[in-house]
Amino acid sequence: MPDAGYLTIGKVVKRLQSLYPDLTISKVRYLEDEGLLNPSRTPGGYRLYSQRDIKRLETILYLQKNRFLPLSVIKDELEREDSGEPPSAAAESAVEASLVGPVDEEIAEKFHPIDRMPEVAGVSVSFVRQLSEAGVITLKRSPHGRDLVDGHDIGLIRTCDELRHYGIGPKNLRQYVNSANRESAMFEQALVVYAKKGGGVEAEVTNEARERFEQAFSRMLALTDVVRTELIRRLVHQSFKDMEG
pTM to 2 decimal places: 0.57
- 111 has a pLDDT exceeding 80: yes
- 67 has a pLDDT exceeding 90: no
Better pLDDT: 105 or 220:
220
pLDDT-wise least confident of 15-24, 101-110, 133-142, 216-225 = 101-110
User: Residue 236: which H helix or E strand, with range?
Assistant: helix 207-244
| pLDDT for residue 92 | 53
Over the stretch 117-129, which tens digit does the pLDDT of each residue have? 999 888 999 999 9
- 147 has a pLDDT exceeding 90: yes
- Strands (DSSP E) along 88-233, which ranges? 111-113, 140-141, 147-150
Q: Mean pLDDT, to the nearest integer, of 123-142? A: 95
**Four-point Cα dihedral 52, 217, 100, 95, nearest 10:** 50
Question: How many other β-carbons are positioned within 10 Å of the β-carbon of residue 207?
Answer: 10
- 74 has a pLDDT exceeding 70: yes
pLDDT-wise least confident of 49-53, 87-91, 168-172, 188-192 = 87-91
Q: Which residues pair with 149 in a beta bridge?
A: 112
Over the stretch 170-223, which tens digit does the pLDDT of each residue have? 999 999 999 999 999 999 888 888 877 765 544 456 677 777 777 788 788 878
Instruction: Indicate the residue type of 179.
Output: S
Q: Which residues pair with 49 in a beta bridge?
A: 7
Top mean pLDDT of 56-60, 155-159, 172-176 is at 172-176
Q: Mean pLDDT, to the nearest integer, of 49-59? A: 90
- 89 has a pLDDT exceeding 80: no
Distance CA 152, CA 18 (A): 6
Banded model confidence at residue 98, pLDDT cuts 50, 70, 90: very low
Q: Set out the domains of the chain in order of their start, with CATH numbers.
A: 9-97 (1.10.1660.10), 105-166 (1.10.1660.10), 181-244 (no CATH)
Burial class (CB in 10 A: 0-12, 13-18, 19+), 19: buried
| pLDDT for residue 179 | 92
